[in-house]
Amino acid sequence: MVYLPTRGDGDTYDSGYTSPPPRSAYDRDAPSSGIRSVNLAPTSEEDRPPSFHSQHDGYGPAPAGQHYSYDAPPPRNGFNQQAPQFDLSGDDNDYRDVRLEQQYQAQAEADLELHLGTAYMDNGGRSSVVYRDSDREVRSGGAGVYTEMGGDQDDDDDALDKFEDSFEGPGDWDEKRAPSEEDGLASPAVSFVGGFGAPPTTAILRRNLTNRRVKLTAGNLILDCAVPTRLLGFLPRKSEDEFKLTRYTAITCGPEDFNKRNYVLRPTIAHRQTELLIVVTLYNENETLFCRTMHGIMKNIAQLCKRKKSQTWGDDGWKKIVVCIVADGRKAIHPRVLDCLAALGVYQAGLATNKIDDNDVQAHLYEYTTQMSITSDLKFQSMEKGITPVQTMFLLKEKNAKKLNSHRWALEALAPQLDPNVVMLIDAGTKPGDKSLYHLWKAFDQDSNVGGAAGEISVMKGKFWTGLLNPLVAAQNFEYKISNILDKPLESICGYIGVLPGAFSAYRWRALQNDELGFGPLASYFKGEHLAGYDADVFTSNMYLAEDRILCWEIVAKRGESWVLKYIKSAQGETDVPDTIAEFISQRRRWLNGSFFASTYALTHTFQIFGSSHSKKKIAVLLLQAIYNVFTLVFAWLGLGNYYIFLMVLTTSLEDPTFKLNHIDIANTIVQSVYMGTVIASFLVSMGNRPKANRWKYMVIMILFALTTAYMIGAAIFCVVKAVQNMAESAIFAQIVVSMISTYGCYVVASIIACDPWHLVTCFAQYLLFAPIYINLLNIYAFSNLHDFSWGTKEQTTAEIDLGVTKKVGKDTVDMTLPSDQTDIDAAYDLSLHSLKTRPMIVPPPLSQKAKEEAVADFYQSVRTNVLLLWVLSNVCSSCWLPCREQADLHVVAAGSLVESKLTFLSALQALLVTTILKGDYANTFSDGGGNGRTQIYLLIILIFVAIMSLVRFIGSTAYVIDRLIRVLGGRFVSHFGTRKIPTAKGATSGRVVGRGVGRQQASESESEKEKREIEEEEEVQLSAGEERSRR
């Protein structure tokens, strides 16, 4: 190790100078052995994977890491060889380029005479001598260097203390770390006194780069780069090139021209047949969400490889699976996600380029077969935990172009070449459950008519379900559960599911493809990628906010085909839901607008199914489902008015003398006025304020809606009791009670049949309180922002030239800058591991001019809304002295006039409905022989309608459970009692034959034999898992 102590006056000490010993952060002398420089490569004594969780306090044997002293031996690099040193004193050294050394040494001596020296520490713990002339920088070639600047001895001790502190502790964020300029991470900072100012506040990773002449492959830039030595030394399999080399491809065209430009993927070169393509879409998710998804996928792949008797899977089943990670924008991706990919060997920094001559690079493709996995708490797992190799592709888009474009790269660029049987779409952050990928794939394998399938999406509740303490999360959990118990099974029985969630779904590749003329599901799916308000109408632009709904309909109604969509309950995926109001409202705005217009599109194109190959029976079922969807859509449209009618009727009915509630009219007046004022405030806020900029306004609105709902529930209890008492005298009251019991009884019974009733206990109350928020606030905000077609992300329109430009020097040759040798690749790998270990804080970029302008606009919009709220609500409050009947009429007029300015048809329909139903006296609605008959009849119609819809959902859910139960019991019966052998023709095979690219089964074995074989596979997997647990 080289030491270059200097004084503030410019004199240089000789090389034998010995600095005073360092002191620790606790002002203690360091041990006599010093803080050693330790080799980062795995040693023979402990050959283990890299760990992020080593701790050391400066005493005793040091763990893997870099620690420095004045008398330590020279450090060693990733090859366990002595690192190259750079001695400015003029002695001989082993620097790899003598001519470059002489040039650097001469310049260094000149710069030292001009007193321009300073020092910095980079993220990996290496010190380098840095000179202020940026055109003439001298680097130590990887050797650790400590440079003492002039100043008092106490200042030097403080600097060493800070350096020691930067490596102590378990690896949490240290506020003393300075941000990194290149990747946004942080590194230990060392401060000095004297010289010519403080060192740079940011650490820059300096790589030894050289210009190399690279031969193009079929006119494309493709590089095969060696993986880091440390990683290769740990891998259990290292003979094949796919384990030793990371392949980089610079893509200079769009996804539609990928295969025309002769880009070739690794599985194609290896002539491998791809059964399953898993596409993981990534935006700016952090390393925890990313590793949660990737580790779940890799565990599922390992489970597929354990199916020894399967004709498709087995030990080498991983060769039939490709995992493609598509990142939406190089600037948007989280830096520590890149560190995770680098730790797995998939990604290498320093290979990418911005341009090849005049052609902009559109995407960067990295290919590697990784044998390691990283858990969500950043721990490595490999073959000892059952992890199998996984063919991984990392496609990093240069620009942010939204999720739909990421799917386009996967389905138009990669899938046609890989030709998979099944394509699975998973969002980063969704964790596939055990055997979920197998159960999804099995649905396609068992039924050749299945064109798409989706698993059960569940809410991530946290440890001990602590996430449900947030009422927003609890309400969403109840919503997801009811959808999975009642809605999805009904749609699955019919064969058409309105939407297969992009977070966790699968499609048969043949079902997605277009016809010879270019029309089909993919063409309709990607049609909305480039649509905007100026070249498409509002209906089409909003419809393509839910393009997955368009895709589902186009698959079912595909001309000449008979594809169906299925719901697979046994395939489960956990996902995180919005836990803040701003994220929740923004997400639902996109969902509601997209689903409303996409559902309308499907209904208006219902007769398209007559061009498909569905049977008459299936067409009849689909037509009945369309009628059901029409009623559901109309009922959702009138939800705002219906909720107000029920509030007015239930609360006003308490004023009947038979209830014996004195002065209840005062409470009713207050609650009704607060509710109406909250609805008006919802319109005013939604039409002019973003949720992120006005969180407190939306918070107040949600609290007021919840309070009025609690009062309404109390009134409903009184009214139901009164109706039960009058059941014998009036049939209308009996029908009201029966319909209400049927509605909520379906929830309870269906949940019990599905063996999943816990959401009724933990989340039902929160969901009831959030009912007006779903009906009023979310719909009001969605319809008030029909002009907003954005996804909530900022699309990048320009590319930055920060990776360099590669120039052609011949027809098939380019000059480009690459890492000099293996030591530079190893150094970058160690830096990624260090960043994951320390988890430094990500420094947010400064606000752009556009962001500042938006903040100013948000402020003035907030002031405008505050004035409008004060003016409107003060006038509403002034009407509180009116009798209750006149108040209702006033509220109707106020609501109608307010909404009419934006949604004329909606306001007219809602106002007409409310005015008609609430006209007259309805205070005695639940009294024997009293009240307005019109109101009673309308309430009965609504309640019966809701009961019928719930009953239909319950029947579909029950049919789904029975069908699933029959399949399971039938398989077990066959496995225990055997089956009758079916004679086959001479020479016929007994195995299953699946046509490649066709996806149709032509099976010569009976269905019972197939079920028996699958049961045996399940039992074998369970037995092997039990043996493995016993062995551990």
Residues 6+ apart with CB under 8 A from 169: 55
- pLDDT-based confidence at residue 816 (cuts at 50, 70, 90): confident
In this model, does residue 521 exceed pLDDT 90? Answer: yes
Confidence grade of residue 1014 (pLDDT, cut at 50, 70, 90): low
In this prediction, residue 120 carries a pLDDT of: 34
User: Please, which residues have CB within 8 angstroms of residue 583's CB and are 6 or more apart in sequence?
Assistant: none
The reported pLDDT for the residue numbered 859 is 72
The amino acid sitting at 321 is I
3-class state of residue 1 by DSSP: coil
- pLDDT class of 274 with cuts at 50, 70, 90: very high
Q: Is 931 exposed, middle or buried (0-12, 13-18, 19+ CB in 10 A)?
A: buried
Average pLDDT over residues 455-479: 91
Cα-Cα-Cα-Cα torsion 611, 614, 615, 618, nearest 10 degrees, comes to: -110
pLDDT value at residue 641? 85
Least confident window among 604-608, 637-641, 937-941: 937-941
Query: What is the reported pLDDT for 496?
Result: 94
Least confident of 272-276, 417-421, 465-469: 465-469
Q: pLDDT digits over 541-567, tens only?
A: 888 888 889 999 999 999 999 999 999
The pLDDT of residue 945 is 82
Extended strands (E) in 34-175: 117-121, 127-131, 145-146
Measure the CA–CA gap between 669 and 677, rounded to whole angstroms. 12
Average pLDDT over residues 915-923: 59
- pLDDT, one tens digit per residue, over 325-373 is 999 989 889 999 999 999 999 999 888 888 888 889 999 999 999 999 9
Helices 639-653 and 884-900, axial angle in degrees (round to 10) = 170
Determine the Cα–Cα distance for residues 502 and 490; give it in Å rounded to an integer: 20
What pLDDT was estimated at residue 778?
A: 93
User: What are the strands of the beta sheet with 431-432, ordered from one edge?
Assistant: 221-226, 245-251, 363-370, 390-397, 321-327, 276-282, 422-427, 504-508, 450-459, 564-575, 431-432
Question: What is the mean predicted confidence (pLDDT) over 613-621?
Answer: 93
The mean pLDDT of the chain is 73
DSSP classification of residue 78: T
**Helices 731-753 and 933-977: angle between axes, nearest 10 degrees:** 30
* Type of residue numbered 476: Q
Q: What is the DSSP letter of 73?
A: P
Which tens digits make up the pLDDT trace of 169-192? Answer: 333 433 333 333 333 333 333 333
The pLDDT of residue 392 is 96
303/896: higher pLDDT: 303
**Which of 436-450, 945-959, 988-1002 bottoms out in mean pLDDT, i.e. has the lowest?**
988-1002
Tell me which residue has tokens 């803080």: 35
